[in-house]
Structure 1
């Protein structure tokens, strides 16, 4: 999720067996060592990013690209519920800049507490306790310094984009139960072409569907990051309370296991 963002709660010698295998973590350690010691400046390494980006993260970027193509001709902004360190948010922003450089109406809006989960609902704890994520606790997935870091990333992103006198990316910090309602008061015109649910937990996911689903026109895309995920059952429970699963077609990608989506009105 990361409706909240997240401080690393694991050291290089630890991993969450619910989401990562020992092999995965060994691979990350080897990759980090390779990145730090390979030749080239930091910018040159970024320019050759495919050498360093884990295939899982590259797959998630490709999934976002495919989602963006689905909503390219749909009016409305992209709302990401759960920003973490901002990789997904800036992916959507840069895709918009590349594929539709003159669409100044498409805003990229992210919501996150950046202090972790504000609370855990009993719905989040349903199922087998041993299968729950180690992050499923109050302040789980806290991201110290991430908010300020993302603002800096947006500042750099704005330097070279078209029509940069129009604001493009907005990050809303705080408890979503409070910030969502206030945001809609401040921006009553909001129409949403893509709602990306990555809060992981029950309460903010349900609020997002209550507040934002009525603003999604036919053809817009509703994205789930933890649907059918045993480690975070709250998202699925909230979706099932708010939507009739029999009436929507939930699609997935054959190259990315977690992300799924439904096209509104399909």
Structure 2
């Protein structure tokens, strides 16, 4: 019987012949075998998908805000996979009774601007509100704010936040989300932009960089896409992605 290591090396060899530019990664990682995380991926049909690394990072970043006061939010829910991880962490937090706020049109993307490139189209990523509610059934401390960003942001204008996940793909809703939530983050709070650094989302990357241009915080780009900042923690602008 072929060992896992031999099969992995064979896969890399064959893959490099077909797609030379693709950077294969090690498969011998403990987090890929975490039972709870594997069941989570299966719940959302992502066990064979390409979001695993960003889901794991989101889960880990929630650990950094365990002692940071404030609610949590997600802009762009799709089927609720990101909100599930956030709600799960909130439910286990003994320090704060947080409410998670979900903002989504549930009609897919708005019309992309020229800065967004040609990858996305109006209506892409559309999922119904009932799908998100079904996937978050085991949680009660959340609120859905249905509408186009930023029209429902006034619902939470008096609140402050510990963690915000932005996943709206396009320039304008990313810019609106960054501008609104940045000033409402408590010190030590984290903003994650799931689309940062993707060639398919140049508008989102530009919106983040524009928001932070004169701010001490900078987005830390992650190797599997996305990025995050910690409110109140300065970061060098050297090497930052720019569009």
What is the deviation of 1:210?
2.0
Q: What's the counterpart of residue 142 of structure 2?
A: 169
Q: What's the counterpart of residue 96 of structure 2?
A: 103
- Structure number having the greater helix percentage: 1
Q: What's the counterpart of residue 262 of structure 1?
A: 229
1:65 has 2:59 as partner:
yes
Report Cα offsets for 1:227-266 as digits up to 9, x if no partner. Answer: 1221111111211221127843433455xx0131111111
1:124 has 2:91 as partner:
no
Paired residues for 1:35-50 under 5 Å: 49=42
How many aligned positions are there? 197
Residues of 2 paired with 1:196 and 1:253: CA distance? 14
Structure-2-length-normalised TM-score: 0.71
Residues of 2 paired with 1:141 and 1:108: CA distance? 21
Structure-1-length-normalised TM-score: 0.65
Report Cα offsets for 1:46-73 as digits up to 9, x if no partner. Answer: 5995998237444333211211011111
Q: What's the counterpart of residue 199 of structure 2?
A: 230
Q: What's the counterpart of residue 181 of structure 2?
A: 212
Residue ranges of structure 1 left out of the alignment (5+ in a row): 1-20, 22-44, 126-131, 159-166
Residues 227, 58 of structure 1: alpha-carbon distance in 2 compared, 3 angstrom cutoff: closer
Residue ranges of structure 2 left out of the alignment (5+ in a row): 1-18, 20-37, 234-243
Q: What's the counterpart of residue 190 of structure 1?
A: 159
Identify which of structures 1 and 2 has the higher relative contact order when contacts are C-alpha pairs closer than 8 Å and 6+ apart. Answer: 1
Q: What's the counterpart of residue 48 of structure 2?
A: 54
Residues 227, 57 of structure 1: alpha-carbon distance in 2 compared, 3 angstrom cutoff: closer
Residues of 1 paired with 2:82 and 2:41: CA distance? 19
Report Cα offsets for 1:149-196 as digits up to 9, x if no partner. Answer: 222333x304xxxxxxxx511121111131223x13xxx431111121
